[in-house]
Amino acid sequence: MTPALALDSITCTFVSKEDRTQRYTAVADTTLHIAPGEFVSVVGPTGCGKSTLLNVGAGLLAPSSGSIKVFGEPLEGINRRAGYMFQAEALMPWRSALQNVIAGLQFRGIDAASARRQGEEWLARVGLQGFGDRYPHQLSGGMRKRVALAQTLILDPDIMLMDEPFSALDVQTRQLMENEVLDLWSAKKKAVLFITHDLDEAIAMSDRVVVLSAGPQTHPIGEFHIDLPRPRDVAEIRMHPRFVELHAQIWNVLREEVLKGYQQQKTKA
């Protein structure tokens, strides 16, 4: 099957932030394929290159070498088959929740009545019926994430690129959002590349978890198929014996890299 997103032999070298005369290879020779409808999480120590890989898949960053294909076609410029959700808030503060949700449709030139109708539908789908007139500052952090989710999904992307979208939320809100994402995903299977620090979150959500090494020259060092039953409730699935087993196996691979990453952060600080 043609992958929805195929990153092949990706290497990303930057001018070092610490010393402008040096070069820093953040990601080296990394291959990552995501099948249509597959939910893949990438975990790795802080600063290892997770966001760099996602930005490559988004077409926001050209790699130093390697190739990117989207449904078999070489990617040129921005990946228009993909929707994004980042850790940082991406809502426009001067637009109401509804206006934020339909922004992408407006940019596409969809007529106002149809955009409004779809926007109301999406607000209801993410549990925000009746909140369309509120502005981002009048919404809680979890509600703002729901607006952002609706804003992304209303465009019906074939690929979702998510970079620690819920890391700023409290644990309960985060679990609610994770379950909502899984519900929406199971209804309309998108290929998902999900970046997270949180191994529990990665296992609970995914079909496959890819572990990256600590930098420099980050590359995949382990890949695990998550054969847990679906539908899943992210809080309950953590109690499943198979979850505990998978967690132990993956943590065994990840632990040393996390320690290496932590040491590097300390020496940088």
Chain residues that interact with ligand ATP, rule: CB under 6 A: 14, 17, 24, 26, 44, 46-52, 197, 215
Shortest distance in whole angstroms from residue 57 CB to ligand ATP: 12
Shortest distance in whole angstroms from residue 209 CB to ligand ATP: 15
Beta bridge partners, 43, equal: 196, 211
Comparison of 117 and 255: residue with beta carbon closer to ligand ATP:
255
Beta strand 159-163 with 5-15: parallel, antiparallel or unpaired? unpaired
Q: Between the CA atoms of 205, 54, 36 and 1, what dihedral angle is there, to the nearest 10 degrees?
A: -120
Within the chain, strands assigned E span 5-15, 23-34, 39-43, 65-70, 73-74, 82-85, 159-163, 191-196, 208-212, 220-225
Shortest distance in whole angstroms from residue 121 CB to ligand ATP: 33
Shortest distance in whole angstroms from residue 29 CB to ligand ATP: 15
Shortest distance in whole angstroms from residue 152 CB to ligand ATP: 19
- R_g (Cα) of the chain, nearest Å: 19
Comparison of 44 and 157: residue with beta carbon closer to ligand ATP:
44
Comparison of 138 and 167: residue with beta carbon closer to ligand ATP:
167
Shortest distance in whole angstroms from residue 78 CB to ligand ATP: 17
CB 162 within 8 A of CB 40: no
Comparison of 38 and 257: residue with beta carbon closer to ligand ATP:
257
Tell me which amino acid residue 68 is. I
Comparison of 16 and 106: residue with beta carbon closer to ligand ATP:
16
- Residue 30 dihedral angles phi and psi, to the nearest 5°: -105, 130
Q: What strands, in cross-sheet order, belong to the sheet with 23-34?
A: 23-34, 5-15, 65-70, 73-74
Comparison of 23 and 189: residue with beta carbon closer to ligand ATP:
23
